[in-house]
Amino acid sequence: MTSSPAPYAPDLAPLRRLVSDACRVLAARGLADGILGHVSLRIDERSLLVRCRGPEERGLRHTVPADIRLVDLDGGPAAPGELDGGWQPPNELPLHTEVLRTRADVSAVVHAHPPAVVTADLAGLAIRPIIGAFDIPGTRLAAGGIPVYRRGVLIRNRTLAAEMTAALADRPAVLLRGHGLTSTGGSVQEAVLHAVSIDTIARLSLDVVQAGGTLTDLPEEDLAELPDLGPSFHQGTAWRHELARLSDGGATDAPAL
């Protein structure tokens, strides 16, 4: 693969690696098949790192740090050389930038196309707290409600992105009807793990219904009993596990930038 590395800002190398790892985790989890989906990370008020497509695009499973480029909120290069050589931001960059413009609490945005999430939503199954200690962060996420943006469109401009962001409101994630999901977080890890939890609940919901069961929310007393094990466990340990899955064959290992 011919991927010309960015010729500047070596201090961004660890963050490029983080975002590229996140893309590969999404692919390994089946949330972003083929060439669809992207991850971004806010760098400052006017710039973000985001997965871009180069002249030899191979899809999220094969993302390398060189695919992660620094762009401004309008999609232009935020530093010399970033988009040289045929690199292009995703068509749905406004999906990322509008969230970052309106949500100061968000540092990272994930857009993915999980088939189970799309199927469950089209079947009328909301993401509900049907589980308990099976996935405590996912249960709490679902208990707060996951809204739905009801247009199955490519979010390619600020008008559509503003509609999606309005549907998202102050929640960590929003489903996109007939399309996928957008999840957010204070870190790349958190945004990705939110997406993984939503996909898990969607899969379980479909399995329950297919087995002839009825979806029932976790009782309030059980929800209140679930402990907060802290970010070092729910994010730190969980993220190390996701990276270990990549090394075990969950996705092709990416070379260094």
6 vs 189, higher pLDDT: 189
Taking all residues of the chain, what is their mean pLDDT, rounded to a whole number?
92
Please tell me the predicted confidence (pLDDT) of residue 34: 87
pTM (predicted TM-score): 0.91
pLDDT digits (tens, 9 = 90+) for 56-70: 899 999 999 999 999
**Is-contact 90 53, C-beta < 8 A?**
yes
Within a domain: residue 256?
Answer: no
Work out the pLDDT band at 249, boundaries 50, 70, 90. low
Question: Can you point out the beta strands (E) in the chain?
Answer: 38-42, 47-51, 68-72, 108-112, 148-149, 173-176, 180-185
Q: Compute the average pLDDT of residues 211-217.
A: 98
Cβ atoms within 10 Å, residue 6:
24
pLDDT digits (tens, 9 = 90+) for 227-243: 988 777 778 899 999 99
Within a domain: residue 257?
Answer: no
Q: Is the pLDDT of residue 97 over 90?
A: yes
In CATH, what number is assigned to the domain containing residue 103?
3.40.225.10
Burial letters 34-56, b for 16+ CB under 10 A, else e? eebbbbbbbbeeebbbbbbbbee
Within a domain: residue 2?
Answer: no
Distance in angstroms (rounded) separating the CA atoms of residues 154 and 91: 8
Within a domain: residue 254?
Answer: no
Active site residue 225: no
Q: Compute the average pLDDT of residues 51-58.
A: 92
User: Which candidate in 92, 98, 190, 242 is catalytic?
Assistant: 92
Within a domain: residue 161?
Answer: yes
Please give the residue range of the domain that contains residue 70. Answer: 10-249
Within a domain: residue 3?
Answer: no
Please tell me the predicted confidence (pLDDT) of residue 254: 39
Within a domain: residue 1?
Answer: no
Within a domain: residue 5?
Answer: no
Q: Is the pLDDT of residue 2 over 60?
A: no
The tally of domains found in the chain comes to 1
**Is-contact 31 37, C-beta < 8 A?**
yes
